[in-house]
Amino acid sequence: MRIGDIARQAGTTPKAIRHYELLGILPAVPRQGSYRQYCERDLLFVRLIRQALALGFRLAELRGLYPADGEPDWARVLQALVEKRQQVAGEIQRLQALDLQLQAVEAETRGCLASAAGDCAVPAVRRAA
């Protein structure tokens, strides 16, 4: 199948597929004349790349997961998934700490609104430990 066909089936663009090839994320495909000839395996790879991008991976993180021999390095794929989950867990902790800070400032601000004197200072923003 040609690049337009694989792009349509994978939900991307021919430009993106050429970019994946240029970066070495997608193995080079054989040509027939000046046209790239893709197979079902290539379609699977492009779909995997698109799924990884949707899960928050950057293209640079996908290098080496699909080597030139055409078979994914499943051990590296698994390691990349584990590392991404660790990053997500860290981000969740950071966001939870931020939410606690926002709650504290919100409570101080509500206290200022409720005070009869109206002489509140600017609520202090606390740094999470």
pLDDT digits (tens, 9 = 90+) for 35-85: 889 989 889 889 989 999 999 999 998 887 776 666 777 888 899 999 999
pLDDT at 122 over 70: no
DSSP string covering 39-57: -HHHHHHHHHHHHHHHTT-
Confidence of residue 113 (pLDDT cuts 50, 70, 90): confident
38: how many CB neighbours lie within 10 A of its CB?
Answer: 22
- Looking at residue 24, its pLDDT comes to 86
What is the rounded distance in angstroms from the CA atom of residue 74 to the CA atom of residue 71?
A: 9
Strands 31-32 and 35-36: antiparallel
Q: Which of 63-67, 97-101, 121-125 has the highest mean pLDDT?
A: 97-101
As a whole number, the mean pLDDT across the chain is: 87
For residue 69, which amino acid is it? D
Specify the pLDDT at position 19. Answer: 94
